[in-house]
Chain A
Amino acid sequence: RKEVEQDPGPFNVPEGATVAFNCTYSNSASQSFFWYRQDCRKEPKLLMSVYSSGNEDGRFTAQLNRASQYISLLIRDSKLSDSATYLCAAYPGGYNKLIFGAGTRLAVHP
C-alpha cells in the first residue's frame, strides 16, 4: 500500500462550484501535511500546509482527520485558473523525507 494515496480524478466542475479532494495516509505516525499545486509541465508549488486545527486561505480550506488518517482540500467558488493537479504530501513517521500522492487533476470549465 502506498504511503499517501489520492483519487486521480479528473474532477470536472463548472466555474463557481465547490469541490473537495481527499488524501489518505497509511502511517499513523505521519506528521506535517501539505497540499501542492502543479500546472502542466511545471514544478509543484506549495498551496497550503495542513495544520491539526485546519486552516483556510481565501477560497481554500485544508483539514486533517487523524482518526481516519486523511487530509482534505476544499475549493470554493472555483475559477478557471484553479485547473491544475493537486498533490498531497506527508512526512511519514517522522522521517525527514517528503512523500507525495499521485495527484488529483481538476478541470474547471465555463
Chain B
Amino acid sequence: NAGVTQTPKFQVLKTGQSMTLQCAQDMNHNSMYWYRQDPGMGLRLIYYSASEGTTDKGEVPNGYNVSRLNKREFSLRLESAAPSQTSVYFCASSVGQVGTEAFFGQGTRLTVV
C-alpha cells in the first residue's frame, strides 16, 4: 500500500528559485494537509484542503501556495524560496471528517541556500 507519497525526498534550492512539492494519496481521502517541521517547533500547518476544490490557510501560510489538483493530489509551491523555508515538509491526508486520524508521507527535506 503506497498511502501518501511525496516527491522529491530531498531538494536543495538557491534563494529566489521556485519549486513545487508533490503529494498524492491512494486512500480515497477527502482532506489533505501540508506541514513544515523545524527543530523545537513541532509540526506547523501551512495549508489544508478539507475537500476537493477547497483550500484554506493554516498557521504559517506566508510564502507558499497550494493547489488541490484533484482528490488524490495536493501540491505545495514555493514561488521565491528563502533560507527561512529550509525545513522538512510533510504531506498528510485524512478521511475528512473532524475526528479522523491523519496519515503522513515520508517527508521532503528542503534546504534553501
Contacts and interface: CB of A to CB of B under 8 A. Distances in A.
Contacts of A100: 35, 42-45
Contact of B101 (A49, A102, A103): A49
A43 B99 contact: no
A31 interface: yes
Nearest to A95: B98
B42 A96 contact: no
B56 A98 contact: no
Given A96-B48, A100-B35, A102-B40, A91 B99 contact: yes
Interface in B71-96: 90, 92, 94, 96
Contacts of B98: 31-32, 91, 94-96
B93 to A, nearest CB: 11
B102 interface: yes
Which residue, of A45, A49, A97, A100, has the highest number of chain B Cβ atoms within 10 A? Answer: A97
Interface of B: 31, 33, 35, 40-45, 48, 50, 56, 58-59, 90, 92, 94, 96-107
Interface of A: 6, 8, 31-32, 34, 42-46, 49, 87, 89, 91, 94-103
